[in-house]
Amino acid sequence: CCASLKLLLSVKLEESTFWRNKGHRSPAYWVASSTCTPVGSTTAIIESGKKLNSLPIIKEALRKGELSEKAAHVVLDAAYKDPDSEKELLKMSSGSYKALTNACDRVKQAALKDEKAIYDEIHKSRYFKHWRDADGACRLSGRLTPDKGAFLIAAISNQADI
């Protein structure tokens, strides 16, 4: 119920200007600041919430508390790419999480018809983050297109003594 409430409220928050009036650059930053939650987590919730308006069956299941937070995110992501899969994925959400994620991955792959579409989809969801741990170690995380990823790996491998 808490997960569904977060997703359902995120839609309303995105539509409001409340967060901007409080001096934040996005709803995700306001939620993160207000709840001591990482921005990445709040961004994921808000991005999933945006998909709800085009997926009425899943939205209703969330209202009824029939989806866990983890299941809701993967089902929303896949069903958004192929709305015809909404009912089937919702049925699977009460079973094994591994089976559900595999089914969602298949739905998303089938929705991407060709290599160009796959590349474009990866490009749209790309990100690169870097930060320092408390001990000063450099940390990296990212999602890149295969060509940009290969370039980055080559550059780091060339410079790092690993």
Distance CA 153, CA 150 (A): 5
pLDDT in tens, 74-128: 999 999 989 999 999 999 998 999 999 999 999 998 887 777 888 998 999 999 9
Q: Quick one: pLDDT at residue 142?
A: 94
pLDDT above 70: residue 2: no
**Among 5-14, 19-28, 59-68, 91-100, where is mean pLDDT lowest?**
5-14
Question: What is the number of alpha carbons within 13 Å of residue 95 lying toward its C-beta?
Answer: 12
**Beta-carbon contacts of residue 51 (< 8 Å; ≥ 6 apart):** 76, 77, 79, 80
pLDDT above 60: residue 4: yes
Q: Quick one: pLDDT at residue 96?
A: 92
The number of beta carbons lying within 10 Å of the beta carbon of residue 159 is 8
